[in-house]
Amino acid sequence: MSTTATFPAPSAPVTLPDPNTPRKPLTKGDLTAERPTWCPGCGDFTVLALYLKLLEKRQLPQESFCSISGIGCSSRFPYFVQAYGAHFIHGRSLPFASGISLSRPDLHVFVFGGDGDLLSIGGNHFTHTSRKNIKITCVIMDNCVYGLTKKQTSPTSPIGFKSKTDVTGSIDQPINPVKQAIAAGATYVARASSTNPNHLLQLLEGAVDHDGFSVIECLSECVAFYPGAFDAANPRKGGAFNLIPADHDVANEVAAYKLADAAFPGYFGLFYQSKRPTKNRLEAELNQRSQEKFQGLKDWQILKKSFEKMQ
């Protein structure tokens, strides 16, 4: 028996397209990967369709963005986008996306996930990504239930919601994602519904143009385990889709927080936006200052200097 290991031939180096060469315009078809495996009628279809529309409208080349998610029905999202992306550990999409954003400032990093993934198991990461203001667009596809695991109470389920984990109805105060995001320090905070696609597209465009952590809570109905959850926000079902009053000052954090406190179905639109510096910028400046300080020195000399400082 031969003991010599055989290795596959090295793959060809990746060559990125020359940015100066004119490219064929990207279409929704080019950006569509697999057929989504969601239940017919699931609100997540609209969120995906609008994302593809956004990419097509902005003509974002496939190598200039990535779509990251955790685990859940909504988190299947990256499978359905023909571009770079990852379906990561449950609740950990934001730290993974933060690493990408900080190391590749040239990319636009999108995170898609559910109310459970981003606000329950991933709630701590949501808080810290918000306060660090890392340049990421995060879309919370909120159906107020754990859909993938077939109906458990989620952190946004209303009091009284009956599920496999609360058979007599939930007794816990739900999280208000908009209030949570504002309080934690996110710098673009909006609310949309998959039943109003044009409005969602507008908010996605604003998020892409924003330099910082942009959060959109998008109501996205789970027709299998919480049908009718958002009828009160849907004029076609007798509800009301109330836009944020035109005189609201998005720079006023307290006013935004108060507006977000309105009883369900509440308001829709951009609640809050600020120009606080991103961690991306602050960290890049810090790196540059350190590099200038040690200019001309070899790595071992920098290390030696650091050790000397510690003595």
Q: Which of 48, 52, 73, 136 binds ligand TPP (CB under 6 A)?
A: 73
Q: Are 45 and 65 in contact (CB under 8 A)?
A: no
Q: Give how far Cα 282 sits from Cα of 132, 216, 276, Å.
A: 10, 24, 11
Tokens of 296: 């001309």
Q: For ligand TPP, which is the closer residue by CB, 154 or 280?
A: 154
Q: Which stretch binds ligand TPP (CB under 6 A): 47-55, 71-79, 227-235, 300-308?
A: 71-79
Q: Which stretch binds ligand TPP (CB under 6 A): 109-117, 211-219, 228-236, 292-300?
A: 109-117
The residue ranges of DSSP E strands in 120-160, in sequence order, are 136-142
Amino acid type, 172 = D
| 243 three-state secondary structure | strand
Residue 71 site contact among Mg ion, ligand SF4, ligand TPP, none (CB < 5 to 8 Å, cut-off depends on kind):
ligand TPP
Residue 224 site contact among Mg ion, ligand SF4, ligand TPP, none (CB < 5 to 8 Å, cut-off depends on kind):
ligand SF4
Q: How far is the CB of 224 from ligand TPP (least distance, A)?
A: 10
Q: How far is the CB of 284 from Mg ion (least distance, A)?
A: 35
Residue in the block written with tokens 């919601």 = 161
Distance, in Å, from the CA atom of 70 to the CA atom of 88, rounded to the nearest integer, reads: 5
Distance, in Å, from the CA atom of 280 to the CA atom of 90, rounded to the nearest integer, reads: 25
Residue 42 site contact among ligand SF4, Mg ion, ligand TPP, none (CB < 5 to 8 Å, cut-off depends on kind):
ligand SF4
115 contacts ligand TPP (rule: CB under 6 A)? yes
Omega within 30 of 0 (cis) for the link into 105: no
Q: How far is the CB of 190 from ligand SF4 (least distance, A)?
A: 21
Residue 39 site contact among ligand SF4, ligand TPP, Mg ion, none (CB < 5 to 8 Å, cut-off depends on kind):
ligand SF4
Q: Which stretch binds ligand TPP (CB under 6 A): 80-88, 92-100, 138-146, 184-192?
A: 138-146
161 contacts ligand SF4 (rule: CB under 6 A)? no
Q: For Mg ion, which is the closer residue by CB, 225 or 272?
A: 225
| 272 three-state secondary structure | strand
Sheet holding 267-273, edge to edge: 85-87, 65-69, 108-114, 136-142, 213-219, 188-193, 267-273, 242-243
Residue 92 site contact among ligand SF4, Mg ion, ligand TPP, none (CB < 5 to 8 Å, cut-off depends on kind):
none
Q: Residue 93: which of 63, 131, 134, 55 has the closest Cα?
A: 134
> Is beta strand 65-69 parallel, antiparallel or unpaired with respect to 267-273?
unpaired
Q: Are 135 and 99 in contact (CB under 8 A)?
A: no
What is the binding site for Mg ion (CB under 5 A)? 114-116, 143
Residue 126 site contact among Mg ion, ligand SF4, ligand TPP, none (CB < 5 to 8 Å, cut-off depends on kind):
none
147 contacts ligand TPP (rule: CB under 6 A)? yes
Residue in the block written with tokens 């919480």 = 226
What residue ranges bind ligand TPP (CB under 6 A)? Answer: 71-74, 90, 113-117, 141, 143, 145-149, 154, 222
What residue ranges bind ligand SF4 (CB under 6 A)? Answer: 38-39, 42, 44, 73, 143, 147-148, 222-225
